[in-house]
Amino acid sequence: SQKIEQNSEALNIQEGKTATLTCNYTNYSPAYLQWYRQDPGRGPVFLLLIRENEKEKRKERLKVTFDTTLKQSLFHITASQPADSATYLCALAASWGKLQFGAGTQVVVTP
């Protein structure tokens, strides 16, 4: 069956450092992968999409890589700030429009 795995342990990081999150998947051959942010009690908010032919994608302090050989995506938050504290979700389109989410990794940025 298709699986998406993200680090279940919270990532505690000091302000200004880079947070790196991992998303691994099995039994998928995705053409693209998405990352979302979720704050407690709120809906997911889209951050970035990366296609299989893109090795890297950036948006402001965010960077995503996609390695289809390793079946892995890395999500980086550079110069992290306390406002970046949230849960970050990896998502794959399991079929037409249907998103399958990983469990998410909680990031806690301390001043």
Q: Contact with other proteins (CB under 8 A): which of 22, 24, 38, 68?
A: 38
Handedness of CA 23, 25, 31, 34 (dihedral sign): negative
- The residue (of 41 and 111) whose beta carbon lies closer to other proteins is 41
Is 46 a binder of other proteins (CB under 8 A)? Answer: yes
Answer yes or no: are the C-beta atoms of 28 and 2 closer than 8 Å.
yes
Question: What is the chain's Cα-based Rg?
Answer: 13
Q: Which residue in this structure is represented by tokens 């289809």?
A: 68
Q: Is 82 helix (H, G, I), strand (E, B) or coil?
A: helix
The footprint of other proteins on residues 80-99 (CB under 8 A) is 89, 92-99
For the CB of residue 81, give the shortest distance to other proteins in the complex, in Å.
22
Binding residues (CB under 8 A) for other proteins: these are: 30-32, 38, 41-46, 49, 51, 89, 92-104
